[in-house]
Amino acid sequence: MVTLRDKIRGCIAASWVGSAMGAAVEGWSPQRIEETHGYVQELKSYKHYQAYTDWQRPPGTTEDGIERQKLMNTAVIRKKDRITADDLVQVWVEKLQPERMIYKQERFDKSLLEMAVAGVPPRELGRLWPFNNVVAMSRASHTLGIINAGDPRSAAMDVYDVGLVYSGEMTFGLRWAALYDAAIAKALEPGATVESVLATAREYALFRGQKGTPYAGYDTILAEIDRALAIAAKHDDWRAMRDEFYTIYFGGGHFVYSMSQANEVVAKGLAIFAFCQGDARQAMLTAVNFGRDTDCLAAVAGGLAGALSGASSLDRQWIDQVNAATKADPYTNSTLDIDETAEGLYEAVLAKLDKERAYLTMMESMPGYLM
């Protein structure tokens, strides 16, 4: 049996390794990946943000999405419980250094920090951000699924509080993040299966949906998931699956973050998770070689698969490389490595469960109170 500790470690390890491996080919077409590397299955050095930094990142260096996840991890490990938007922004103010953020985080991260320091309330920040439907929250918020292990509804609800620092309340970006973190919470249950995880994602596709409103006709999230899963089910070869997705998601270059919309990344991530039957290694590598937003896709597909099946299928060399790069990273938000982070989150989940048990015991000790 895969234990809860193993599952949490699998989620963190696969999302970090996938992020670091996918970052080296982020934005590339499948053809360019194959012509340059064949099939990517090792960590490579790479550069990002070359307009304003020439830093050559060592193999195993994660990127901006994991930096956001690290901030949530810090908040959860510190609180040992579910977190709020206030908890996350408090960590921002304490941990983030604007002059260093240019090396590993998007410029919008720096803008959000500046607004928070200036006094904008945490739950208003997302309203002032112009990229509400990108995958920034979905690909970074594994932590909310982890701290709510076995409780998909609470995971989805937490997205609608913590996620307000990145998106307005009525955005599709939060809808996709909520169903993704609900799926992670489900994957962390004992006895979870690929089928039960996907059923949870489909169920939470309707969470805070538009049914009964004038906008119901535009609420196509469930249909988009079902289309993605149907594509995964009809193919035996991952390249054929990838090529069919390219007939649907193929735009790029004409607007900012055109390859990083939450619907594309999460829908494809669920399809890869299904195609690989929850195997963390295969899901992560398939996503890395898929093209387009490869680091985000690998963090989404790999993180979900790792939450289900643990880290046993991942090469230890990958984990060691990411751990070493993390410890040596001069710009990261946290130098806790994969193992330290996973253990801290595991202890936070146990502490949260202890609080819940103590509360239930207290309520049950009052004669007649629960009748």
In a domain, residue 263? The reply is yes
pLDDT of amino acid 170: 84
Asked whether residue 254 carries a pLDDT value surpassing 60, the answer given is no
The average confidence (pLDDT) of the chain is: 94
Higher pLDDT, 309 or 49: 309
Confidence at 253, pLDDT banded by 50, 70, 90: low
Closest CA relative to residue 10, chosen from 353, 354, 345, 349 = 345
For 261-292, letters b (16+ CB in 10 Å) and e give bbbbbbbbbbbbbbbbebbbbbbbbbbbbbbb
User: How many whole angstroms separate alpha carbon 71 and alpha carbon 82?
Assistant: 14
Contact between 310 and 280 under an 8 Å Cβ cutoff? The reply is: yes
Region 86-91 average pLDDT: 98
Asked whether residue 273 carries a pLDDT value surpassing 80, the answer given is yes
pLDDT of amino acid 338: 98
pLDDT of amino acid 216: 67
Domain count across the chain:
1
Asked whether residue 40 carries a pLDDT value surpassing 60, the answer given is yes
pLDDT of amino acid 133: 83
Region 230-243 average pLDDT: 98
Domain that holds residue 14: 4-207+219-352
pLDDT of amino acid 57: 96
In a domain, residue 371? The reply is no
Lowest-confidence range among 9-23, 210-224, 276-290, 317-331? 210-224
Confidence at 146, pLDDT banded by 50, 70, 90: very high
Asked whether residue 89 carries a pLDDT value surpassing 60, the answer given is yes
**2 DSSP 8-state letter:** -
Asked whether residue 79 carries a pLDDT value surpassing 70, the answer given is yes
In a domain, residue 365? The reply is no
pLDDT of amino acid 202: 97
Query: 328-364: per-residue pLDDT in tens?
Result: 999 999 999 999 999 999 999 999 999 999 998 998 8
Confidence at 50, pLDDT banded by 50, 70, 90: confident
Residue 87, C-beta contacts closer than 8 angstroms, at least 6 positions apart = 75, 78, 79, 162
Region 221-244 average pLDDT: 98
pLDDT of amino acid 302: 98
Lowest-confidence range among 79-83, 95-99, 158-162, 235-239? 95-99
In a domain, residue 178? The reply is yes
User: How many whole angstroms separate alpha carbon 85 and alpha carbon 16?
Assistant: 23
pTM of the predicted model as reported, rounded to 2 decimal places: 0.96
In a domain, residue 311? The reply is yes
Instruction: Quote the radius of gyration of the chain (alpha carbons, Å).
Output: 20
Higher pLDDT, 321 or 252: 321
In a domain, residue 366? The reply is no
In a domain, residue 174? The reply is yes
Asked whether residue 255 carries a pLDDT value surpassing 60, the answer given is no
pLDDT of amino acid 367: 83
User: How many whole angstroms separate alpha carbon 127 and alpha carbon 148?
Assistant: 26
Lowest-confidence range among 19-28, 52-61, 156-165, 281-290? 52-61
DSSP string over 108-154: HHHHHHHHHHTT--GGGGGGG-S-TTBSTTTTT-HHHHHHTTT-HHH
pLDDT of amino acid 319: 98
Higher pLDDT, 57 or 250: 57
CATH code for the domain of 339? 1.10.4080.10
pLDDT of amino acid 286: 98
pLDDT of amino acid 96: 93
Most confidently modeled of 132-146, 164-178, 282-296?
282-296
User: How many whole angstroms separate alpha carbon 211 and alpha carbon 75?
Assistant: 34
Region 33-56 average pLDDT: 93
pLDDT of amino acid 219: 81
Contact between 350 and 344 under an 8 Å Cβ cutoff? The reply is: no
In a domain, residue 54? The reply is yes
